[in-house]
Chain A
Amino acid sequence: MSDSEEEPGVQPCPKCQAENALDAAYCIACGAPLAPAATAGGGGVRSRRRARATGDAAEQARARHEFARVKNSVLAVRAVFAASAIYAVVQVLLWHVVLARLQRSVEFAGSELDQWSTVVSILGWSQVALLAAGFFFVLRSPLIWSVTGACYMTLSVALALWASDFSISVASLIGLFTVVALWFAVGQAARVQRLMAADPKLQIVRKRIDPSRKVVGGVADEARERRRLEKRRTFRSRLRLLGAVAVLLVIGGVAIWQVTKPPSPDATIAAFAKAWQAGDVEALGGLFVDGPASRRAIGLREELERRGWQQSMPALTAGTLDDRGDHAVESYTCTGEPLRVMLARDKFGWHVTGVSLPNYEVPAFASGLAAFTAAWQAKGPEALVDMFRPTSRERLGSALKRMLEKRKWTEQRPALGEVPKGKSGDVRQRLLIPLEDGELEVVFEFWHPSWRLVGIKLPQE
């Protein structure tokens, strides 16, 4: 018996020739299925064909598993090639259009433009050819074409950055990202190429199954259908949840908007119009932010009194509102002139900040001057005191009487010199009237219906 003969009770593996038990179905060394003893002789030819894939069953299974995971990176590189080729074609065509237009202008000489056209053609179409070749051949030689694509993209991005003085734009960021992704894909492509070299059955592109070999029905199809229905159920439930969330958000948003919506100035404007029509000066003053005792409210009262409107005010036409967010202006027409009400909003609401009353015509000052001259020449101080405004008559009148008593001018006063005429149109007149020994300073204001004395300064003793 020769050494090469099999030992009784063992069978050799057709792939690795390791000894296995007679009842074994798989080789314990490499995991290959063991052929039956009757066909062991013929299994030699079959085992030579199977031996093309290197490694044992576990390594082949691991290789298939890893190949299924990483082959998509090569498909992604192919997509990048396709997109870059299309972009390059568009670029080249645009350049040709630009050069054709330039040819019609007088800026370039003919031969120089022809050179540019030739260079653009060669560069552009060679780019397109390189990228198209990458698209077609990357599935056969993933590593070489991935490296080519990565080098090409790195060079293009480097040149683009250099030309733009390293300014970062969206295009340059996309280019940098593509460069990083392509160099990452080079590692995956190297892995794919090694796996394909180790097992020729591994192919990147899945071939269509021959219809005669296709198995319809069975547990795989049932599982696939089950997964499909489950995915649809999940999708619908998520869609419903999303819809509910969207409705809640809309309702909540509307509610918040309503609650936080700033109040409109309409109420304050209506209150102003009502108080104006009723002639209620106190109510008008109450619309100011600091109330009827505020400086602005007092100023409005005085302006109304000056015009003689303190009891009743002329009618207002329909107002127009100019809303400027936190400020507003309501414009009316009163006695043919514009009347504007300025409003402002604070945390307590809208308030009146100012009222611009219409202009009025000031009567001639001569009447007031004549009245003062007559009062100065009259006996006693009563005529002069009567020239003060009723609201300040008592205070200013008593002060004047004291000053006149002090100078013994109560009954008779020195004669006035040449009285100045004053400036026509001014609502306030300040006059310096010469006396025998000094000057008399008097201030008049027009308070409807007459000129009133608001200040008097006797000459120094």
Chain B
Amino acid sequence: MKEKKSVIFFRYALLTIGVILSCLPMIYMISTSLRPNGALYEYPPRFFPKLQDVTVENYQYIISQNKFYINFFNSVIVSVSTVALAAIISSGLAFVIARFQFPGRKVLFGFIIITMIIPGTTLIVPQFELAVKLKVVNKLWGLIPFYTAWVIPFSTFMIKGFMENIPDEIIEAATIDGADIFTVFFRIAIPLSTPAIASVSIFNFLTAWEEYPWANTVINDNAIRTLPIAIAGFFGQHQFTQWGYVFAMSALSLIPVILVFILFQKYFVTGLTAGSVKG
């Protein structure tokens, strides 16, 4: 079936417009971060700065501050820990639910599905009360277990779907060879579910990396702040916002996300299409 050239051209044209609209805000962010703070209210406003105005002084300022590294490092610790814990815990949960019959299995899985429907922020008040009881307010430990708990339902749901599809013969063959359940789990189930685990891990990374409401509630000290609260803190001074700094810091904090996205692009799609999880 041959399609008309004009139809194909029309598709590309529309898609290009769409992509421009998608990327425009980010380009504007970067172009704003490259001009001096005083030029932000210039008239007429410009999409791109005048060439002679282009400066990296906002980046220099952000990078020269220790705070940025601390915030960046905090975000890395929190995101990586969340990803690792969630991957291990959800795989175990998913494996058992997918492959074994035990009392309460249906109830457990039903509960996991229900918690997927309740947005995490709804629970912010009782979870805060819990954080206070556990004395983890103003600590990174006040973030990691909570993020892990938030992402476990989705992760379990997705990985379970994958583990159900492992052919019975493979597992039976291993059992006949005398393998115990740990061996089957670590040697067979996990390696065969790698695509699912990888794709949920990417989403979990993004979730933890960008989370704002909970971190803003639990964390006080500058030295424990993650990047989103640090960025929002720049903006907080309502009478005087230094947009150049805000956007320079934002651009820097997007780098790891874009790297992860580009490196693991393949898994993104696998994850989305296998169980269809929203990032």
Determine if chain A interacts with chain B.
no
